[in-house]
Amino acid sequence: MTFIWMEMLWLLLLVPILIGLYVLMLRRRKRTAVRYASLAMVKQALGKGPGWRRHLPPALLLIAIAVLILAVARPAAVVTLASSRATIILAVDVSGSMRAADVPPSRIVAARNAARQFIADQPADVQIGVVAFASAAYLVQTPTIDRTALYQAIDRFQTRRGTAVGAGVLTSLATIFPDEDFETLQNDPRPGAPAGDARPPGYRSLPLDGQTAAEEKPEHIPVEPGSYRNAVVILLSDGATTTGPDPIQAGQTAADYGVRVFTVGFGSPSGDVVDYEGRRMRTQPDIETLKTIARTTDAQFFEAQSSDDLTRVYKSLSAKLVSEKKLTEISFIFAGVGALFALLAGTLSLLWFGRVA
C-alpha cells in the first residue's frame, strides 16, 4: 500500500499529543478529588467507579482520528478490478500443419474446441472477433457479442498452405483500428519470398471510411506498449512463418498502438510430420518468435502441448482479461472505518455515561 498525499501523514503527530492531553486531564481530575476533606466519603457516595469503561470511548475516538488522518493521505493499493477491455480478437493459425495428430484428434479440432470454451467463458458484454491466418490472414467474424455467430465462424476454419504470423497480427490490428491503414505492411519484405496463396474465399479487406489511396494520413505516434485498454489479441500458432510480413515487426507495430498480443505456441515440442497436398513436412511452433511478440507488446506467452494444456491456457487468459490489477485509491475504506470507530465511541459514551464525553 502507498499514499498519494504522503505529506498529510505528518498529521499523525497529533495522536501522541492527544494522548498526552488526555493523561494530563486525568491527573487534573485526581488533584481536584484530593481537595475533598474525606476521600473515603467521596468514594462511598460515588459507589463503584466505571473502571476500564471510562477509557474505552476516548481510545476508540483516538483510533478514529488516526484512521481518518490516513484517509486524508489518500491511501492506494493494487486491487483486482473488472477489466475495461471491450474487444478480444482471436487470431488462429489454420495452416496445413494444424492437421497434425500429435494433439488428438488433431490440432485444428482441439483449437476449435478450446476457442469455443473460451468464448463461452467471457462476459456477455465483451465483443469477440475471429481472425484466421495461413499464407494470408482474413477476418472470419467481425467483433460481436453474438456467441452463435462466433461458434459458426470457428466451425468454418479450413486448413490452408503457408503460415503468416505477421499477417495475423496486422489483420487483428486492422480489425481493432478500422480507420488505420495496415495494408501496406502486409507485403512480404524478404527478397525472393514466395507470394503465397491467393487470399481465400471470405477474405475481406477492411475499408477505410472516407479515405482514398491518394490521401495521406499523418504518421502514427507510438504509444506505450500495453497502454491500449479497450482490446487485446490472442494469437495461436503451431508453426514457423513461411510467408507474409515479418512477425517481429508486426509485433512492434502492435506495441506502437498499445495493443497487447498474447501468444500461444501449440503442438508437441518435437512437432509432427504432416502429409498436406502431396507434401510431407515436419512442423513445430516457433517459440522464440511468439515469445518476442508477447514481450514486445507487454503481454505474455503460453505453451500448450495438448488439448488439455490449451484449455488451461485459455482459462488462464480468460481470468486475466476479465479482471486486471490496478493501483486504486482506497480512501473510502479508511474513511468508513474511521467513521465507524467514532460512532462506536459516541454510542458507548451515551450508554454508559449519558453523554458524549
Span 263-320, pLDDT tens digits:
999 987 766 666 655 666 667 788 999 999 999 999 999 999 888 999 899 888 877 7
Q: Which of 175-189, 215-229, 296-310 has the largest mean confidence?
A: 296-310
Check if the beta carbon of residue 172 is closer than 8 Å to that of residue 233. Answer: yes
Span 102-115, pLDDT tens digits:
888 889 999 999 99
Q: Is 60 exceeded by the pLDDT of residue 215?
A: no
Q: Is 50 exceeded by the pLDDT of residue 213?
A: no
The pLDDT-based confidence of 208 (bands split at 50, 70, 90) is: very low
Backbone angles phi, psi at 75, to 5 degrees: -65, 150
- pLDDT score of 217: 65
Q: Which residues pair with 128 in a beta bridge?
A: 88, 144
Q: Is 60 exceeded by the pLDDT of residue 36?
A: no
- pLDDT score of 194: 43
CA distance 127 to 145: 5
- pLDDT score of 214: 42
- pLDDT score of 188: 54
| Percent of the chain with pLDDT strictly greater than 70 | 76
- pLDDT score of 110: 92
Mean pLDDT along residues 327-334 = 85
Backbone angles phi, psi at 267, to 5 degrees: 125, 165
Give the closest residue to 260 by CA, choosing from 296, 285, 292: 296
- pLDDT score of 223: 94
Span 133-151, pLDDT tens digits:
999 999 999 999 999 999 9
- pLDDT score of 234: 96
- pLDDT score of 204: 42
CA distance 250 to 53: 71
CA distance 346 to 341: 9
Q: Which residues have C-beta within 8 Å of that of residue 9, sequence separation ≥ 6?
A: 3, 69, 70, 73
Give the closest residue to 68 by CA, choosing from 8, 17, 16: 8
Distances (CA, A) of 337 to 6, 340, 341, 356: 20, 5, 6, 19
| DSSP-derived 3-state class of residue 126 | coil
Q: Is 60 exceeded by the pLDDT of residue 218?
A: yes
Q: Which residues have C-beta within 8 Å of that of residue 241, sequence separation ≥ 6?
A: 163, 164, 165, 166, 247, 286, 289
Prediction pTM value: 0.65
Span 287-297, pLDDT tens digits:
999 999 999 99
Check if the beta carbon of residue 321 is closer than 8 Å to that of residue 85. Answer: yes
| Percent of the chain with pLDDT strictly greater than 90 | 38
HSE (CB half, 13 Å, CA atoms) of 72?
12
CA angle, 207 then 261 then 178, to 5°: 15
The pLDDT-based confidence of 203 (bands split at 50, 70, 90) is: very low
Of residues 329 and 35, the one with the higher pLDDT is 329
Rg for the chain, CA atoms, rounded: 33
- pLDDT score of 196: 41
Q: Is 80 exceeded by the pLDDT of residue 155?
A: yes
- What distance lies between CA 197 and its chain's CA centroid? 37
- pLDDT score of 126: 87
Q: Is 90 exceeded by the pLDDT of residue 45?
A: no
Domains defined along the chain, listed by start = 12-28+41-75+330-353 (no CATH), 82-189+221-325 (3.40.50.410)
Distances (CA, A) of 257 to 128, 237, 238, 252: 19, 22, 26, 9
